[in-house]
């Protein structure tokens, strides 16, 4: 190898070692242009906890409670079992013998009232009783805004007087005579010999079924009374006086029934089997008994032991 070649080789070797020393830290690295990727920077930044992806949470909508529905007070219907009564009739004249329901009191009148529908003359002489039991057509009765009623009675030596205050959202009465129960109307059940047939569970000649109707004022149909039972006396009764007053959302009924027509001699403490009921029809297109409310929660038409009772007081 010539001397010139050896010198060049030595120079190249020296340059190599100088460059290697610079790469090992003796020099300043050249700046890097641009901004580092933020995701990568955060990913490798150990001074902070790693960012964990949150699940796609669905915020539950608050459950809004349904409005509270006020249910009507449960009332017995005709399928309920009536209380067990003694099998032997008690025959103590004038004594108040027990039947189901409230013993309703009937006040005495010293002056006969005018039958005009208001019964204001004797309202303070009697106790009012609610017709609180749905005994027919419960599915057709909405609540007290549909139908509700109260009743009171009075007496003198000539007549039994009854008065009703009936709240009805729609007055419908297109039926008359024996069909008057198929419209808005009132019904009375009277057992005139309670002590003589206290436990008798079928109708007989001393049991009366009376219907009272306010008629149809718009069609000129007058109020009327109809007797269905005893069947031998069935028919319209002009001797029974009926009058009505209509107000907004309600109507009043006042009637007098002669004791003579019931075969009764009235006296203080006389007790009679009794139930007062009101019929409702809200369908003007047909004559139908949709609902009946009664003072007797276990009322069965053909079983007088379910009717309840009332007593004449002074």
pLDDT number for residue 9:
53
Of 303, 294, 302, nearest to 141 by C-alpha is 294
Q: Is the pLDDT confidence value at 271 over 90?
A: yes
Weakest mean pLDDT among 50-64, 116-130, 157-171: 50-64
- The DSSP annotation for 178-245 comes to GGGGGSSEEEEEEETTTTTSTT--S--TTEEEEEEE--BGGGTBPPEEEEEESGGG-EE-TTSEEEEE
The pLDDT tens digits of the residues spanning 79-102 come to 333 333 333 333 333 444 568 778
Helical H segments across the chain, by residue range: 3-21, 38-43, 259-262
Which CATH class, in words, describes the domain spanning 106-312?
mainly beta
Using CA atoms, how far apart are residues 86 and 96, in angstroms rounded to an integer? 15
Higher pLDDT, 290 or 66: 290
Handedness of CA 293, 182, 272, 197 (dihedral sign): negative
Q: Is the pLDDT confidence value at 2 over 90?
A: no
Q: Is the pLDDT confidence value at 286 over 50?
A: yes
Using CA atoms, how far apart are residues 58 and 80, in angstroms rounded to an integer? 52
Using CA atoms, how far apart are residues 309 and 129, in angstroms rounded to an integer? 12
Residue spans per domain, the chain: 106-312
Using CA atoms, how far apart are residues 129 and 133, in angstroms rounded to an integer? 12
Give the whole-number percent of the chain exceeding pLDDT 90: 66
């Amino acid at each position: 190898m010539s001397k010139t070649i050896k010198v060049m080789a030595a120079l190249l070797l020296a340059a190599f070692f100088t460059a290697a020393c610079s790469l090992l830290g003796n020099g300043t690295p050249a700046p890097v242009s641009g901004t580092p990727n933020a995701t990568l920077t955060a990913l490798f930044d150990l001074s902070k906890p790693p960012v964990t992806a949150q699940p796609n949470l669905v915020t539950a909508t608050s459950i809004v409670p349904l409005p509270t529905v006020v249910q009507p007070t449960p009332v017995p219907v005709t399928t309920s079992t009536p209380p067990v009564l003694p099998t032997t009739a008690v025959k103590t004249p004038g004594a108040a013998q027990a039947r189901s329901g409230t013993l309703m009191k009937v006040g005495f009148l010293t002056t006969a009232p005018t039958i005009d529908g208001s019964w204001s003359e004797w309202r303070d002489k009697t106790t009012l009783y609610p017709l609180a039991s749905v005994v027919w057509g419960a599915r057709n009765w909405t609540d007290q805004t549909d139908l509700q009623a109260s009743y009171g009675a009075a007496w003198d030596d000539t007549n039994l007087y009854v008065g009703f205050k009936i709240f009805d959202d729609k007055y419908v009465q297109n039926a008359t005579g024996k069909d008057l129960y198929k419209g808005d109307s009132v019904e009375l059940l009277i057992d005139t010999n309670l002590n003589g047939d206290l436990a008798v569970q079928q109708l007989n000649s001393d049991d009366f079924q009376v219907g009272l109707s306010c008629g149809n004022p718009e069609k000129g149909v007058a109020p009327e009374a109809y007797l269905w039972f005893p069947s031998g006396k069935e028919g319209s009764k002009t001797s029974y006086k009926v009058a009505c007053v209509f107000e907004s959302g309600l109507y009043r009924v006042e009637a007098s029934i002669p004791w003579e027509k019931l075969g009764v001699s009235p006296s203080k403490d006389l007790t009679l089997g009794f139930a007062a009921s009101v019929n409702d029809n809200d369908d003007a297109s047909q004559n139908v008994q949709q609902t009946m409310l009664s003072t007797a929660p276990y009322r069965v038409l053909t079983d007088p032991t379910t009717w309840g009772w009332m007593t004449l007081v002074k």
